[in-house]
Structure 1
Amino acid sequence: MRLLVAGLLAGLSSPLAAADYLPPPSHDDGWVVADARTTHWDVARFAALEGKLADKTYKGITSILVVQDGKLVYEGYFNGGSAEQLNDIRSASKSVTSWLVGAAIDRGLIPSVQAKVYSYFPDKQPVQHPDARKQAITLEDLLTMSSMWECDDENQFSSGNEERMYVSEDWLQFALDLPIKGFAPWMTKPADSPHGRAFSYCTAGAFTAGAVVERATHKPLSAFAAEVLEKPLGITQSHWNTSPLGIGMGGGGTRYRSRDLAKLGELALDDGRWKGRQIVSADWVHHMLTVHAQARDDADYGYLWWCFRFPVKGVDQPAWAMSGNGGNYVFVMPSQRLVAVVTSTAYNQRYAHPQTQEIFRDYILKALPGQ
């Protein structure tokens, strides 16, 4: 650790904590690094956070990075994490798939988010549970987790629960064969839901969205990602999983280094630009980071991106997020020109998501200049 954790136990003053703070090192990876003290970050909050990591209040955290105004101001690795570690970000991969859908639309390879999903897979038809409503499912329905498929990863009894998909060989056929969902009396129908969409978290849908990209581009998802996203961002290492039949897994398990995850956040913050170069259109970013569905009482959903609200100076501000099992997050808070990365290996632990959100809320945001 780069801050003097031992001195935190008695709550040292900011000047001493500031003296122990070290700016992130400069590498040849495109990032501009800066000293957080020059813009009046409360670096004692970073020290306090490292204390919580040292005493295991927060478990499994492997990296924390903070970027403001395009400059990397804090970078820490813990619990065996390192700058070269390819982090398994699980479902945060879904947000990368959204970038790839946008890149395909930008290139005219997919006409729009209104493209009909089943039209891309004539070789997979006829499907089980035929229904005109299935043929009407659009790419936007998959991006917003609001298709009419009976698919809910949070319900172990759901036909489309992801664990059922994983034990089948043909994941794509599994998804396309899903039945139309029914709405019990206690469930909110689309017409009665905010934004006209009934949200249901469905990894099979994100996987199918990635399969649409593969069919439209005639390339493996990993190859298209390297061409249109990773290489332009200077990302030289990544790992993509595939289904048993070789289709890119756009629903989870992609691996990136922490600094590269921060680039994906900065791309969202800067309207699809990196170093002044337009990588993905600003129009796509606008639609991707617009609320299209209410996921929970405390969270909304865009195109495979979550939208939370966190207090800054007592006022709730929206923060968009890539989010995955284990508490892996890339936060983007436009109002503060802020990107934060937290990677974690607390997979399948109930505390994982709450602890990462607490780190962002109680340490990173409270360290902001002027707090």
Structure 2
Amino acid sequence: MAVSSQMLPVAGQQPWDFASAADGDAFAAGVARRLDQALAERRLWNIHGLIVLRDGKRVIERYFEGPDRARGVGDIGTVTFTAETPHDLRSCSKSIVALLYGIAHAQGKVPAPEAPLLAAFPEYADLASPERARLTVAHALTMTMGTDWDESSLPYSDPRNSEIAMDEAADRYRYILARPVVETPGAHWTYCGGATAVLARLIAKGSGQSLHDFARAHLFDPLGLGPTQWAAGADGEPFAASGARMTLRDFARIGALMLSGGRWDGRELIPADWIRRCTTPAVSADELRRYGYQWFLLDVAFGKPKGWAAGRLERMWMAQGEGGQRLYIIPALQLVIAVTAGNYERDDQSIPPTRILREIVLASVE
């Protein structure tokens, strides 16, 4: 795996200085040493980029070479990644849509979380039923709609996968809203790209802009992001749940915005209360992860154990995307870790980013 290191200032409104190991930063030195060791031992595979920020400074920024794919396009060959190379975020797009919904909500352009979901789509009034009447926007935000949806047990190459079926439907929003309600809404979490799609549609309906245009005008441009894309289907509708594409630096900038409580360059881009909602557990996703508004939440342990103590435990916010895309945010440490990778449809795809988090970054925290 070829390696490049970018030492240039980050473009945009708020550049990050490097926290250099040469300046005696023990954390930066530990991260660099452990990363080099993991690469030498081939414990990481097809990682495309890594940025670690702490206390507003870049601890490390590395880019690699490897095969990649683009949503809606397929294989794009071997890419030599740099700070200017855009990358698919895949399902990390869901977490960005949640932030955009919060912006639109503050502008009065979308229904409140407590509002009935189907009522926001009068064009599908024929789908009304007592079961669907119980669905709220919050159920879409927390993926607890209770509808018949399966995109976890089937690969995305299988047309029976609910997200693929949604993409291929004549009307993707009718497909989502017409799914039978098979569980009590709010009771259980089911991974559902359709939930993200209806949130994005509400943003577009309320703002009169496409999802990407709204994102550029109200989040990406104010945040100083460079060129971005949002892939769309044959029907022209965005792959809301998995189509965002941007550079690794801009991906990390999203994390820095979250840490700042939604403020950037002296301006509130996202209401702090909305970030609190996104990062407050609403439901358990599995034994380890909880879920807020389109963000995963979990506790991570680090630090050297003392006696019977297991070390320090802190809350982490996580955006997670297929292939190994990750945005880890640990507020107590003022830490952002952005990872891009190309391990699509591999059973071991979660191992490299998890090792970066636990064995390289958290292992370097004193």
- Range of TM-score over shorter length: 0.7 to 0.9
**Alpha-carbon distance in 1 for matches of 2:281, 2:111:** 21
Is 1:204–2:194 an aligned residue pair?
yes
Instruction: After superposing the two structures, state which structure 1 stretch, 35-44 or 295-304, moved more.
Output: 35-44
CA contact (8 A) 1:305 1:321 kept: yes
Alignment of 1:200-279 (within 5 A): 200-279=190-269
Structure-2 residue corresponding to 1:125: 125
CA contact (8 A) 1:66 1:73 kept: yes
From 141, 144, 161, give the equivalent of 1:143.
Answer: 141
Structure-2 residue corresponding to 1:45: 31
Deviation of 1:111 after TM superposition, in Å, equals 4.0
Structure-1 residue corresponding to 2:150: 152
CA contact (8 A) 1:34 1:71 kept: yes
Structure-1 residue corresponding to 2:360: 363
Q: Match of 1:249, as an amino acid?
A: F
Identity of aligned residues (%): 26
Secondary structure at 1:126's aligned position in 2? Answer: helix
Instruction: After superposing the two structures, state which structure 1 stretch, 247-256 or 100-109, moved more.
Output: 247-256
Greater fraction of residues in helix: 1
**Alpha-carbon distance in 2 for matches of 1:205, 1:158:** 19
Is 1:328–2:328 an aligned residue pair?
no
Instruction: After superposing the two structures, state which structure 1 stretch, 213-222 or 132-141, moved more.
Output: 132-141
Structure-2 residue corresponding to 1:15: none
**Alpha-carbon distance in 2 for matches of 1:303, 1:215:** 20
CA contact (8 A) 2:289 2:296 kept: yes
Q: What stretches of structure 2 of length at least 5 have no aligned partner?
A: 66-79, 304-310
Secondary structure at 2:350's aligned position in 1? Answer: helix
Secondary structure at 2:326's aligned position in 1? Answer: strand
Is 1:285–2:282 an aligned residue pair?
no
Is 1:93–2:93 an aligned residue pair?
yes
Secondary structure at 2:58's aligned position in 1? Answer: strand
Q: Match of 1:108, as an amino acid?
A: G
CA contact (8 A) 1:160 1:178 kept: no
Structure-2 residue corresponding to 1:28: 11
CA contact (8 A) 1:171 1:243 kept: no
Deviation of 1:217 after TM superposition, in Å, equals 1.1
CA contact (8 A) 1:327 1:346 kept: yes
CA contact (8 A) 1:61 1:78 kept: yes
**Alpha-carbon distance in 1 for matches of 2:273, 2:337:** 23
CA contact (8 A) 2:144 2:189 kept: yes
Relative to the length of structure 2, the TM-score reads 0.86
**Alpha-carbon distance in 2 for matches of 1:276, 1:70:** 15
- Deviation track 1:11-37 (CA, whole Å, cap 9, x = no partner) reads xxxxxxxxxxx8842143222212233
Structure-2 residue corresponding to 1:106: 106
CA contact (8 A) 1:229 1:279 kept: yes
Evaluate the alpha carbon distance shift between residue 116 and residue 158 of structure 1 in structure 2; reply closer, same or farther with a 3 A threshold. Answer: farther
Greater fraction of residues in strand: 2
**Alpha-carbon distance in 2 for matches of 1:42, 1:252:** 32
Relative to the length of structure 1, the TM-score reads 0.85
Q: What stretches of structure 1 of length at least 5 have no aligned partner?
A: 4-21, 183-188, 191-195
Deviation of 1:205 after TM superposition, in Å, equals 1.1
> How large is the Cα RMSD of the aligned pairs?
2.2
- Deviation track 1:213-241 (CA, whole Å, cap 9, x = no partner) reads 11111110001000110000001211102
Structure-1 residue corresponding to 2:73: none
From 329, 351, 356, give the equivalent of 1:354.
Answer: 351
Instruction: After superposing the two structures, state which structure 1 stretch, 217-226 or 153-162, moved more.
Output: 153-162
- Deviation track 1:196-255 (CA, whole Å, cap 9, x = no partner) reads 631010111111111111111111000100011000000121110223332232211210
**Alpha-carbon distance in 2 for matches of 1:119, 1:246:** 24
Instruction: After superposing the two structures, state which structure 1 stretch, 103-112 or 295-304, moved more.
Output: 103-112
Is 1:57–2:43 an aligned residue pair?
yes
**Alpha-carbon distance in 2 for matches of 1:288, 1:199:** 15
Deviation of 1:158 after TM superposition, in Å, equals 12
Secondary structure at 2:337's aligned position in 1? Answer: strand
**Alpha-carbon distance in 1 for matches of 2:201, 2:6:** 41
